[in-house]
Structure 1
Amino acid sequence: MTTATILFVDDEPDLEALVLQKFRRQIRDGAVNFMFARDGIEALQSIEQNPHVDMVVSDINMPRMDGLSLLQKLQEAEDKKSTIIVSAYGDMSNIRTAMNRGAFDFLTKPIDFGDLELTIDKTIRHVEMIREARRRQIEAERAHASLSRYFSPQIASRLAADGEADGMAVHWREVATIFTDITSFTSLVESATPEVLGTLLNEYVGGMTDVVFAHEGTVAKIIGDAIQILFNAPEEQLDYATRAIACARDLDGWAEDFRERWNSRGVNFGTTRIGVHAGPALVGNFGGSRFFDYTAYGDTINTAARLEAANKFLGTRICVSATVANSAENFQGRPVGDLVLRGRREPLRAFEPLPAATFEGPVTAQYSEAFAKLEAGDAAAMPAFAALVGLHAEDSLAGFHLRRLLNGAKGVRMQLE
């Protein structure tokens, strides 16, 4: 039980002894604690020294500062105190003024101590309600601050309001996951000054996080320059695959603009590589009772990370699995091939997402024809890719397949280490 601290403000010399006598049982039981002041000025000084005061019982007529002036001061303070005003019987003008200024209740003189006890009990219950409301608000603000590291403002607000309950427990869940990483970041760390590196990385992570939150994704982990993102967790998103593909493309666009901007300043910032996959994962708060660490583990997560790394060999910036591509609405992209990722025996069909204008353009149609020949084992695949690279030397994926063919490879299945 919490002890309520009550400040009596009255210049009557016998009041203190009388109150302590009348409430001796409650004082002994720890229900209440009384403080006393002779006028409004002394009361304000006492509250300044003892901010834990819960309620004030104040007479109106006092020297130096009267009760109505004290009430006004108390209501102007940030931490408003529940105040009971004591007035002479029939002094309705002052009572009306007190209630208009925010008094919680009033009593008339001579004080009926039974009435005073009931009024104090009622006020204490009101104070407890305020305390509980403040406690819940503080808890919600703390939860929101913690959740805002991982979730968009909309999701964080909903989770904080719900008390983080259901979606935070560790459980298996279907998710789409994105992995991003920066090429040659280690070299940048070794060459850049701490000031430049700190500014650059903060801007990069902040901008990438903004993109994720715009799609209502979850930032599960940030490890240096690498970011792990989840969709369909903690809340259900029926279109999670579509969101993941759209987010990956927007992340790529933002990261490319960022790279070009910093490269123009003489900082050699690398390309951001992105991998996307979907499937079951173990999701939840893995931080125990002391820490909050919302993340995901499992083969789905590992596969997304390996698809991100596959970009290095393919020459692409985004590599997504057929699993997520087939689940996304109106997916637009071109096939990469059947990748046998590190630690895997079975191949995984992968795609490179494309902007609508590129997907509908002649280059994609030419690539699709060459890829179909490659998949069919047609010897015409090599000249088809050679012709494509001749017209579009910047097409890294076409160049990758041409090099494979020149080195004697066949088909679309490829082993990546």
Structure 2
Amino acid sequence: MTATILVVDDEPDLEELVLQKFRRQIGEGIVTFMFARDGVEALQSIERHPNVDLVVCDINMPRMDGLSLLAKLQQAEDKKSTIIVSAYGDMSNIRVAMNRGAFDFLTKPIDFADLEATIEKTIRHVEMLRETRRRQNEAERAHASLSRYFSPQLAKRLAAGSCEAGGMEVRWREVATIFTDITGFTSLVETAAPDVLGELLNEYVTGMTDVVFAHEGTVAKIIGDAIEVLFNAPGDQPDYSTRAVACAHALDAWAEEFRERWKARNVNFGATRIGVHAGSALVGNFGGSRFFDYTAHGDTINTAARLETANKFLGTRICASAAVANAAANFQGRPVGDLILRGRSGPLRAYEPLKPEAFATAATARYSEAFAKLEAGDQGAMPAFAALVGMHSDDPLAGFHLKRLLNGGKGVRMELG
């Protein structure tokens, strides 16, 4: 598929330079470029060609500058992923652009190798968003059949016809949320027979939702293989963080047993990755008067999804934030580090929750000692993790930290991916 890129810049020579630098990609049909001299012309181009995939935009331009164009693009229903370009010394404007929704930025003079890499990364992001929208559309079309996935508590409220009076109205709530996804699910879809895939996914979703309901959670959304779970909504659950951690452990145990069962049938089902976070979210029925769509939106939900993704890099299956770990009763787990997640203003301390039997092992104690050295900047952190990996080669989190240190990493603050 050819990606359409709109470059918005008033420099007269830029168009010729871009076409020259990207002539191979253009010739191979990887990308196609459109050009506009300012924000006004850019909006007119997008209106004529709504299939634009991403926008590369300078800040300082006549008629409509880049920040104003970015605001217009973010207000549109079909938000365009935008790369902002500005002078190196103009970091204040770049910071404003990122806060307003820019996907990434580049500094002038443009390094075309950096531009190519940034465009490739942004196109992958656009493709991911399209896949998410496709899944959302499929889920919406099948919404009538998804009522069996709502928690019994929520179903009871609906049957009583008390959506508004019973807490279904949209409002801010403190919640704990779990986000799950399956490793390699796209490859499985492409290789498994339809009847096998149907049986597999139906059994998986049913089993996972049964676990959620056993902990009195609410399944807020199912999109393909991804499941979003809420606690403390719609009803009050003072121990919602404790419930979320217990549910995450139970989901992990069930999913691993499920994998082994299907492995015996020669079906390679991926591991389930789980992210857990707590905070404020906008929760309620977003379906209007014609549809029922009880779900949650906000940074808390996005952060849980990003913690789920973090497992891919860490080698873990469950990744929980400090917000959950600090609030859950008798939480036991290993510190992962301070993760820098996209969209957040600062680092977020993350943990790998452990069952009591795993937490009580000598290996966990050794990990804690090695992590303390890492956090303190102690030179002994590398040999401590090396010794741990030597004794426990099946510990991916210890291996992750050792690899970071061997590659020059320091401290516990890290950006994944």
Give the TM-score taking structure 2 as reference length.
Answer: 0.64
Aligned residue for 1:339? 339
1:414 paired with 2:409, answer: no
Change (3 A) 1:183 1:333: same
**2:198 corresponds to which residue?**
198
CA shift at 1:148, angstroms? 4.6
- Give, in whole Å, the separation in 2 of the partners of 1:388 and 1:160: 55
Distance 2:312 2:229 in 1: 20
Q: In structure 1, what is the equivalent of residue 371 of structure 2?
A: 371
Amino acid across the alignment from 2:327? S
Q: Secondary structure of the equivalent of 1:379?
A: coil
CA contact (8 A) 1:340 1:413 kept: yes
Deviation at 1:186, TM superposition (A): 0.3
- Residue pairs, 1:85-234, within 5 angstroms: 148-151=148-151, 153-158=152-157, 160-161=159-160, 163-166=162-165, 167-234=167-234
Question: Which residue is 2:255 aligned to?
Answer: 255
Q: RMSD between aligned alpha carbons?
A: 1.6
Q: What does 1:259-278 align with in structure 2 at a 5 Å threshold?
A: 259-278=259-278
Residues 371-399 of structure 1: per-residue CA shift (max 9 Å, x gap): 00000000000010011101110000000
Q: Deviations over 1:115-158 (max 9, x none)?
A: xxxxxxxxxxxxxxxxxxxxxxxxxxxxxx9865311x245325
Q: Show the counterpart of 1:323.
A: 323
**Cα drift, residue 299 of structure 1:** 0.4
Q: Normalization by structure 1: what TM-score?
A: 0.64
Work out the percentage of aligned pairs sharing the same amino acid: 75
List gaps (5 residues or longer) in structure 2: 1-144
Cα offset, 1:315, TM superposition: 0.5
Q: Partners of 2:344 and 2:286 in 1: how far apart?
A: 27
CA contact (8 A) 1:342 1:416 kept: no
Query: Which has the higher Rg, Structure 1 or Structure 2?
Result: 1
Distance 1:147 1:163, change over 3 A: farther
Partners of 2:343 and 2:154 in 1: CA distance = 36
Opposite residue 160 of structure 2, the aligned amino acid is A
Shift of 1:261: 1.0
Contact 2:314 2:396 in 1 (8 A): yes
Tell me the SS of whatever aligns to 1:296. strand
2:316–2:397 Cα contact (<8 Å) kept:
yes
SS of equivalent to 1:388: helix
Cα displacement string for residues 219-252 of structure 1 (whole angstroms, at most 9, x for unaligned residues): 0000000000000000000000000000001000
* 1:203/1:374 CA distance change after superposition, 3 Å: same
| Number of equivalent positions | 273
Say whether the 8 Å CA contact 2:149–2:209 is kept in structure 1: no
| 2:344 alignment partner AA | R
**Hey, which bits of structure 1, 4+ residues long, moved more than 4 A?**
145-148
Provide structure 1 residue ranges, at least 5 long, that are not aligned to the other structure.
1-144
User: Residue 45 of structure 1 corresponds to which residue in structure 2?
Assistant: none
Partner in structure 2 of residue 281 of structure 1: 281
Residue of structure 2 in register with 1:303 after alignment: 303
Alpha-carbon distance change, 396 to 224 in structure 1, aligned in 2, over 3 angstroms: same
Secondary structure of 1:260's counterpart equals helix
